[in-house]
Structures are given as C-alpha cells and as structure tokens.
C-alpha cells in the first residue's frame, strides 16, 4: 500500500517538473525574441509627461507680470547619463535595431553596443559644438541628475523596505533647458535619430519688467521633499509634485501655487515613437494682484531717491491700501534687484549685508513702530476709560523727577522745551512722550498688548506670503520665551511700548493697516491676490475687529492736526505731509523709532581638533567655514564686528523715520470717517531720522502723484 502511494507521488512530481520545463522552453526559446522586444520597449519607452503651462500673474488691470512661454528641452535617457546602466540599456537598443535591420544579423549584440558607445560619445561632442558648452559641464549636469535620482531611489527603498527600480531610471531628463530655436532644429536633424536623445516641449517663466515687484512676485525652485510630502494634489498623478519638479517657493508664486499649477499631459509611445496614448496638458489658472504697477514703480522711485539722500542710506518701504476694500495697491521694498539676473547675481546680493537687497521689507521685517504706535495707545486709553478726551497731562520734559536723563520727551531732547498741559488730541498732534508714558502706565503692559492685537500686531496681515512676519506683541508668554532673564513685564515696559519702543514691533504693511483701521473704524485683513474665479488667496478669513468709534474720533482729530494744523510756531509734527490740493487732505502720524544698527559681519573663532585657533571675519557662519578646506574647524565663539550705521557721536542710537496716514476729502468733519475714496499709506525710511522731516514729505509726494493721476483719469469717489 505504501509502495503504491509512493509511486503515485513520484509520478505527480514528474508531471509537475515536465510542465515547468515546458514553460521554460516556451519562454526562453520559442518566445525569446518577443520577450526581448518587450523588455526593450519597457526599458526605453517609459511614459512621457508634457509640461502644463503655468498660469500668469497679472496686476489689478490685467497687465501680465510673469507668464509661461513655450520652450524646449534637449533631454537624454537616464541610462546614457550613468555608467552602471548604460551597457544594459544599449544592449536592449542594439537588439531592437538589429531586429529592424539597422544593423546586420551577423553583428553580435556586443559589436553593436560598441558602435552605439561611439555614437554616445559623438552625441556629447556634437552638443559641445552646437552650444559652445564644454563636455565637462554636460558631465557635471549628468552627475547632478544621477545624484538626484539616486536620492529618490534610496528614499523609496527607505519607505518600502525593498530594493526596487523607480520610473525616473527609465525616463528622459533635460540636459539643456530652454534651448533656442536653432539648437532645437539642429538636434532634431542630427541627433534625434538616436533613441537616447529627445527634444521635449517645455515652458519658460518670463518676466515683463517686474523689477519693482521682484520681492512680491517671488520665484520658482525645485520642490523639496517636504513640499512633495505635503502636496495637496498628492493623489493626482498628473498634477502632483514629483521629484525634480519646480514650484513656487517665494512670493506670489508660492501663495498662488495651487491656482497657478496646471495639469501635465502624458504620452505613451512604442519603441518607434508611435503614440499609443495621449493626454493633453491643461493650462494653470491666472492670479490677479491688487497691485497697481504704475503706482508701485512711482513709489519705488521716490522712496529710492529719499533713501539715497538720507544720512545713512539703507532701505525702506512704502505700502498703500484702499481703505474700503483693504486691497494692497502698492507693496514697495527698497533696495530691490533685477528679477532676470537674480540667480546669477545671488551670491553678490546675499553678501550685501549693508543694504540687504533680497529682504522683502514691506512684509518680512518687523521694526519698532515708534510714535505711530501712539495712535493705538490713545485709542486704548480712551476706550478703556483710563483717560477722558478733555483730561490733561502736563509735559515737564521728563517722566521721573529724580532721573531726569531718562524717559524724556523728544522736545526736551531737541530743544530743551516742554509741551505743557496736553489733552488726547493735542498729545497726538505734538507726539508728546510724557503724555503717552503716563497713559501707557495706566493701561499697563497687558492692556497695551490687548490693543496692539486689536490693531493687527502679532497676527497675519492676510497676504498669505511665506515671508510675512507677524511682528511682536510682547505678552507674558512671549516674554517668558524670548526674554527669560526678565520674563515678567516691568513698569518701564509699559512706558516704552506706549511710544512704540522696546520689544513691540510691526511691519510696514501692518502699520499702513493701522492707518486704514483708524480711517474705517475696523481692523480687517488685507487683500493681495485672487484667482480668476475671484476668490482671495491668503489669510483673509479672519473676522474684522470693530474699534471704539468715540475714541477713534478723538484720534482722527489729532491726526488731522498732525498734518494740517498750521498754527504759527505750533504746527503738528507732520506738517510737511500737508497736500497741495484743493480737494484732498492727509491725516497722519509721524514716528522716529530708535533702532540698533544691523550687523554687517562678525568675527568667528575657529578651532581645530589639535587645539589650534584662528579668528576670521565673515558675513555668516557658512561663509566662515567655507574659508577652510577639510577637515573643517569648529566655530567656538563669535561676536559682531561691523555694524551699519554707526552709533551717533553722542551715543544715541540712529532712528527709523515713519509716517502713516490716510486721505480724505477736504471739508470732512473733524474726527469723522472719510467718505468715498480713501487711501491709507505707511512709509518707512530705515535710519532716516525724523519721521516728520523725512517720511512725511515722502508720503506727501507719493499721495499727490496718486491722487492727481486718479483725478486726471476721471475716477469717481
């Protein structure tokens, strides 16, 4: 019985073995040619993706700022860009070419591969002749591609836990981007006969005279692993970011990424490049800015002139808002740079630590707001009933009788005078420090921080820009984190914060929005960009905050007096901003905020493993380390070396010059909200000194130009 079962078992094993052998013969002998051809197709003809033209960025009148234009890349198969995969790839190509009669049947695969290797070398040499680019540069580009693909492959291996090929290893990669027409024609005629060379459609981002908006428009760059992982279109094969893709990384290019990005196309071809399947790309949608380009350019020109004429030329900003809609009409940062040459000039731009041309000052830098902050303090004091409109505080020139060299009024410092008794309206007009020191003390640090937040400090202004700073509202939580040596607020904190000094800080955009808030009676986020469907981009969903109207009426009367009260010998601090207009007037607040000079370079102490030390001067830690070959030393200490501008001769810090204000029709009742068309403006001249002398006349020039142009164009209120 056992013997019989054993015989049946042996017979079954023999049958299975015969089936397996038969299948192997079928695959390896009878169908060998077919499977070789299939392997060649899979290896050399991966799906090809067509770039989707990116949407345009336009100004408020539909004028294009940046747009995509058709271009072409000269691409090569990944296997030809590497040494490890080249022979396997060329072997597959050789078999396919022999099958099609390109090479005789008598030639072996090895012999054909040797010929193809020569053709690969000729390809590189011909590209060198056509472009004037040395082969060594093409080799370096190929190595960059190989390194990137290897990083991707390793990432896939780390995620899956298995070693596997990735689609990028069977794809074509640009070796020359945005090739000109003559090169494309030459490559198609001479080199595209080789299966490893391909002219692929591409798009090129083109700017249309946007230097005045270079910071705002932003740039594209290669998508990082984090951007790819967080991509909102990760599940969409034709829209998601892939390794090697570019996307918006700064400015509006980034804010509008989800709108601007189109849907790529896909083409599937066989070895002979016969199209088997094709999906056309879909153009991205346009993004419309609220910016008026003409106003932006004019404001930049006038700001630049004012800065270059100042004692310590550095930088600055001008921001203009439509009060009613809160649309940003101008968002100017100076100095700027040439958009088209940014990449090639980046190192020199980065190294300019004196002028910092790459800094988007309008939104990215938070400054001490100086006396512009007094507008918030007086509203808080009146609304919280810490003082009444008619209450007087006497200015003796100093706050502390026993320490008369500290917490003094600016008029005492400059002229040895005092303001005498001041009510709220006069204190705003005269920018009396003593009034606001005492009012700040009554509000206290907590009360001041509450009102800073009500007017938009410490929160997003609404642009959605990655560069946007929220500024600083120095709450107890903030102090505990950033001022651990003195985490609890002191009485002097309230005095400093009430006049916009100390830790409180805001961006020029936030300060301009304070002016718009005063004019309209409410804080609300600004609007900067929208899609073609009219939906706003950015953080525009924060609810408006209504401000006490009775307190604002007092402030508005004071801000009118700052600019328009021409009483002989008793003019307001911003009288140089008074408009020469029969129809319009400007209400405003000046500010002069003491500020630390910024660091130009530092001294770094470098130490090697053997204990040897050396001190070098550099702009950054990276630059200091780059001065030395491997093995690199360690940075064991540093201190600032050069600052700009220098401390004033009497030891005082230099001051930023500020002005903020809003326009209204002449004849508007004192203290009333402006009716009809109204614009808010914020002006900052870094280290410019007096806000009344430097920033106020600049605001006057810009607003007069804008209002005259609008009235000349027949704009209605």
Fold of the 293-338+358-596+648-712 domain: Beta-lactamase (3.40.710)
Among 331-335, 406-410, 463-467, the range scoring the smallest mean pLDDT is 406-410
SS3 call for 91: helix
**Which two structure tokens, joined as six digits, stand for 309?**
């004429």
In contact, 639 and 624? CB cutoff 8 Å: no
pLDDT digit string, tens, across residues 586-607: 999 999 999 999 999 999 999 9
Q: Where are the domains of the chain?
A: 2-44, 48-289, 293-338+358-596+648-712, 598-644
pLDDT at 325 over 60: yes
What is the pLDDT at residue 45?
58
What is the pLDDT at residue 24?
46
CA distance 72 to 80: 20
pLDDT digit string, tens, across residues 391-402: 999 999 999 998
pLDDT digit string, tens, across residues 91-132: 988 998 898 888 998 899 999 999 999 999 999 999 999 999
% the chain with pLDDT above 70: 92
More confident residue, 561 or 647: 561
433 exposure class (CB count in 10 Å sphere: 0-12, 13-18, 19+): buried
What is the pLDDT at residue 4?
57
More confident residue, 269 or 615: 615
What is the pLDDT at residue 166?
81
What are the phi and psi torsion angles at 254 (to 5°)?
A: -85, -45
Segments of 453-493 assigned E as strands: none
pLDDT digit string, tens, across residues 522-534: 999 999 999 999 9
Question: Which CATH code of 3.10.129.10, 3.90.1150.10, 3.90.1310.10, 1.10.760.10 fits the domain covering 48-289?
Answer: 3.90.1310.10
In contact, 497 and 374? CB cutoff 8 Å: no
DSSP assignment string, 565-614:
---TT---TTGGG----SSEEEEEEEEEEE-PPEEEEEEEEEE-TTS-EE
CA distance 523 to 631: 56
* pTM given for the model: 0.87
376 exposure class (CB count in 10 Å sphere: 0-12, 13-18, 19+): buried
pLDDT at 44 over 50: no
pLDDT digit string, tens, across residues 286-301: 999 999 999 999 999 9
């Amino acid at each position: 019985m056992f013997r019989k079962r054993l015989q049946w078992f042996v017979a079954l094993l023999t049958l299975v073995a015969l089936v397996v052998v038969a299948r192997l013969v079928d695959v390896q002998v009878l169908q060998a040619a077919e499977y070789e051809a299939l392997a060649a197709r899979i290896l050399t003809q991966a799906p090809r993706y067509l770039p989707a033209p990116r949407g345009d960025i336009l100004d408020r009148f539909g004028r294009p700022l940046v747009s995509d234009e058709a271009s072409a890349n000269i691409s090569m198969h990944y296997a030809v860009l590497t040494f490890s995969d080249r022979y396997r790839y060329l072997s597959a190509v050789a078999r396919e070419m022999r099958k099609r009669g390109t090479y005789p049947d008598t030639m072996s695969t090895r012999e054909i591969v040797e010929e193809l290797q020569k053709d690969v070398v000729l390809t590189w040499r011909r590209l060198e002749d056509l472009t004037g680019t040395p082969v060594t540069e093409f080799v370096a580009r190929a190595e960059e591609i190989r390194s990137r693909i290897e990083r991707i492959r390793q990432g896939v291996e780390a995620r899956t836990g298995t070693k596997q090929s990735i689609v990028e290893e069977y794809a074509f990669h640009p070796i020359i981007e945005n090739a000109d027409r003559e090169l494309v024609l030459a490559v198609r005629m001479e080199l595209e006969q080789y299966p490893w060379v391909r002219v692929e459609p591409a798009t090129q981002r083109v700017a249309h005279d946007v230097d005045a908006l270079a910071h705002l428009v932003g740039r594209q760059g290669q998508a990082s692993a984090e951007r790819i992982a967080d991509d909102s279109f990760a599940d969409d094969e034709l829209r998601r970011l892939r390794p090697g893709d570019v996307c918006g990384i700064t400015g509006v290019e980034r804010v509008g990424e989800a709108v601007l990005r189109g849907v790529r196309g896909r083409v599937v071809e066989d070895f002979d490049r016969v199209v088997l399947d094709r999906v056309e790309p879909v153009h991205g949608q346009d993004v419309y800015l609220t910016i008026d380009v003409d106003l932006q350019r004019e404001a930049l020109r006038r700001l630049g002139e004012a800065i270059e004429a100042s004692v310590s030329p550095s930088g600055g900003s001008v921001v203009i808002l439509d009060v009613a809609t809160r649309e940003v009409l101008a968002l100017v940062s100076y100095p700027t740079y040439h958009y088209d040459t940014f990449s090639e000039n980046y190192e020199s731009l980065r190294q300019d630590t004196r002028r910092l041309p790459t800094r988007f000052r309008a939104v990215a830098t938070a400054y001490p707001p100086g006396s512009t902050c007094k507008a918030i303090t007086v509203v808080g004091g009146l609304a919280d009933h810490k003082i009444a409109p008619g209450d007087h505080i006497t200015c003796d020139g100093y706050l502390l009788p026993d320490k008369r060299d500290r917490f003094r009024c600016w008029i005492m410092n400059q002229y040895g005078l005092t303001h005498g008794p001041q009510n709220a309206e006069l204190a705003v007009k005269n920018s009396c420090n003593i009034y606001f020191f005492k009012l700040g003390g009554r509000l206290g640090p907590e009360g001041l921080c509450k009102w800073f937040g009500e007017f938009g400090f410490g929160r997003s202004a609404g642009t959605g820009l990655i560069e946007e700073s929220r500024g600083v509202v120095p709450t107890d939580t903030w102090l505990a984190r950033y001022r651990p040596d003195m985490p609890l607020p002191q009485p002097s904190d309230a005095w400093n914060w009430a006049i916009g000094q100390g830790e409180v800080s805001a961006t020029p955009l936030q300060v301009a929005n304070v002016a718009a808030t005063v004019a309209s009676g409410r804080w609300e986020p600004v609007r900067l960009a929208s899609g073609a469907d009219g939906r706003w981009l950015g953080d525009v969903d924060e609810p408006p905050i209504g401000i006490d109207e009775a307190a604002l009426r007092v402030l508005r009367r004071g801000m009118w007096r700052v600019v328009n009260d021409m009483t002989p010998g008793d003019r307001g601090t911003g009288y140089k901003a008074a408009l020469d207009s029969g129809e319009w007037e400007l209400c405003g607040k000046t500010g002069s905020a003491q500020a630390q000079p910024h660091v130009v370079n530092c001294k770094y102490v470098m130490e090697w493993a053997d204990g040897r030390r050396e001190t070098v001067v550099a702009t950054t830690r990276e630059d200091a380390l780059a001065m030395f070959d491997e093995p690199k030393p360690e940075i064991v200490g540093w201190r600032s070396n050069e600052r700009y501008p220098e401390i004033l001769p009497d030891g005082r810090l230099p001051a930023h010059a500020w002005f903020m204000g809003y326009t209204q029709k002449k004849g508007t009742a004192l203290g009333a909200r402006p009716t009809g068309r109204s614009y808010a403006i914020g002006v900052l001249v870094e280290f410019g000194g007096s806000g009344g002398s430097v920033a106020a006349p600049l605001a006057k020039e810009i607003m007069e130009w804008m209002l005259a142009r609008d009235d000349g164009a027949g704009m209605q209120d």
